[in-house]
Amino acid sequence: MEPFDDLLHQAEIAHGHLCAGQILGVRLAMLGCSRLNIAEPRTTDRKRLVTFIEIDRCATDAIAVVTGCRLGKRAIKFRDWGKMAATFVDLKEQIATEGDTPIYKGIRIAALESSKQRARELYPHIDNKNQQQMLAYREMPDADLFSEQWVQVPLHPREMPGYKSQRITCAQCGEGINYDRHITATGGTILCQSCAAPEQSYYRPLD
């Protein structure tokens, strides 16, 4: 894996600026890859890793840079839990099966809330919280920054990178649906999720 400073610079370019979240994200992702013994996540090991991210903040871009996982490659799975945490799943470590769903070994790493207080203790003379944390997060040991938990993650074949499926057309709006995301309504009618439950859709048509 590339050196920390090189990855941080790439994350800064991808994100548009450097902040404490970028530093945290780079270190979090480097730790996750290290625990899984994935040395080159963006090159020779690129097909081994799927990453679940629990927040849509600065660290998310940094994690994507370090791991090479991208939403467009279906290698990033976003769970909107509002937590500074990510789970790194090794696709070479299948440990069980539930029905037709393989279960893989992974490690979930979360930022410790106590790290903010530790940053204040290390740099009490710096008033700017972001500058304070940027300096501290560079040097604090992993144990002071993160909690770690080995986990098992069910990952159905349809969720895997490279999965191919039949494209199905919604009977109501006529739009195509990929990756088995359709709903089969009463009578066998095929609907997209928006047409099947418009009250739950993220958008509403303008009148």
| Claim to verify: residue 20 and residue 87 sit in the same structural domain | yes
pLDDT of the residue at 165: 79
| Claim to verify: residue 104 and residue 45 sit in the same structural domain | yes
Selected residue with higher pLDDT from 104 and 205: 104
Average pLDDT of span 58-81 = 94
| Claim to verify: residue 72 and residue 132 sit in the same structural domain | yes
pLDDT of the residue at 79: 95
Query: Is residue 21, in this structure, part of any structural domain at all?
Result: yes
Look up residue 145 and give its amino acid.
L
Query: Is residue 205, in this structure, part of any structural domain at all?
Result: no
Query: Is residue 39, in this structure, part of any structural domain at all?
Result: yes
Q: Look at the chain and report how many structural domains it folds into.
A: 2
CA proximity to 51, closest of 39, 157, 4, 65: 65
| Claim to verify: residue 150 and residue 176 sit in the same structural domain | no
Q: What is the domain range of residue 117?
A: 4-159
pTM of the model: 0.89
| Claim to verify: residue 176 and residue 155 sit in the same structural domain | no
| Claim to verify: residue 186 and residue 92 sit in the same structural domain | no
pLDDT of the residue at 4: 94
pLDDT of the residue at 207: 77
Please determine, for residue 34, whether its predicted confidence score (pLDDT) is greater than 80: yes
Query: Is residue 206, in this structure, part of any structural domain at all?
Result: no
Query: Is residue 81, in this structure, part of any structural domain at all?
Result: yes
Task: Read off the pLDDT of residues 157-188 as tens digits, 9 standing for 90 and up.
Answer: 888 888 887 899 999 999 999 888 899 998 89
Query: Is residue 207, in this structure, part of any structural domain at all?
Result: no
- CATH code assigned at 53: 3.30.1330.130
| Averaged pLDDT score across all residues of the chain | 93
| Claim to verify: residue 19 and residue 97 sit in the same structural domain | yes
Task: Read off the pLDDT of residues 109-132 as tens digits, 9 standing for 90 and up.
Answer: 999 999 999 999 999 999 898 899
| Claim to verify: residue 14 and residue 104 sit in the same structural domain | yes
Average pLDDT of span 85-104 = 95
Query: Is residue 151, in this structure, part of any structural domain at all?
Result: yes
| Claim to verify: residue 47 and residue 124 sit in the same structural domain | yes
Query: Is residue 73, in this structure, part of any structural domain at all?
Result: yes
| Claim to verify: residue 133 and residue 178 sit in the same structural domain | no
Average pLDDT of span 86-92 = 97
Backbone angles phi, psi at 46, to 5 degrees: -65, -20
Average pLDDT of span 8-30 = 94
Confidence band of 204 (pLDDT split at 50, 70, 90): confident
| Claim to verify: residue 192 and residue 106 sit in the same structural domain | no
Please determine, for residue 205, whether its predicted confidence score (pLDDT) is greater than 90: no
| Claim to verify: residue 99 and residue 127 sit in the same structural domain | yes
